[in-house]
Structure formats: structure tokens, C-alpha cells
Amino acid sequence: MEEELKLHKCIICEQEKVFGIMICSEFLCDDCEAEMVRTDVMDARYPFFIHQMNKIWYKQDA
Ligand SMILES: [Zn+2]
């Protein structure tokens, strides 16, 4: 049986990716997940990740 590879839009990079994880019904691609794990709190990109992740939490209130 052939498994269908579905594309999901990543909440962080906003690109269509096949591999990643679902967080609260939002998709986080493998690349961004790995990037976030590597990113230090002092890293310039950290606020960006937090900002993108906030989109997920805000949707929970809807
Ligand atoms: Zn991504």
C-alpha cells in the first residue's frame, strides 16, 4: 500500500513540508524543530521563533 505524503505549511518558515511534528494542530517542520533546539536564548533568531510559536497559542483562545 502506498502511503500518501501530505504537505503541511510550517508555522515557522511557512513553507510546505512533508516531515515534521504537529503542535496543537499546527505544523512544525523537521528543519525548524532542529533549528529551534539548536537556537540559544541569546540568539538573534530566538525572538522570531517565539513570535511564530505565539501564533499557535493565540489560536487556542479562538
Ligand atoms: Zn519550517
Tens digits of per-residue pLDDT, 12-55? 999 999 999 998 888 999 999 999 888 888 888 889 888 988 88
d(C-alpha 34, C-alpha 38), whole Å: 6
Residue 34 lies in a domain: yes
The answer to whether residue 62 scores a pLDDT higher than 60 is no
| Residue ranges making up the domain that contains 21 | 8-57
Residue 31 lies in a domain: yes
CA-atom Rg of the chain in angstroms = 13
Residue 16 lies in a domain: yes
The model's pTM is 0.70
Residue 1 lies in a domain: no
Between the CA of 48 and the centroid of ligand 1 the distance, in Å, is 12
Number of compact structural domains in the chain: 1
Between the CA of 27 and the centroid of ligand 1 the distance, in Å, is 8
Between the CA of 3 and the centroid of ligand 1 the distance, in Å, is 22
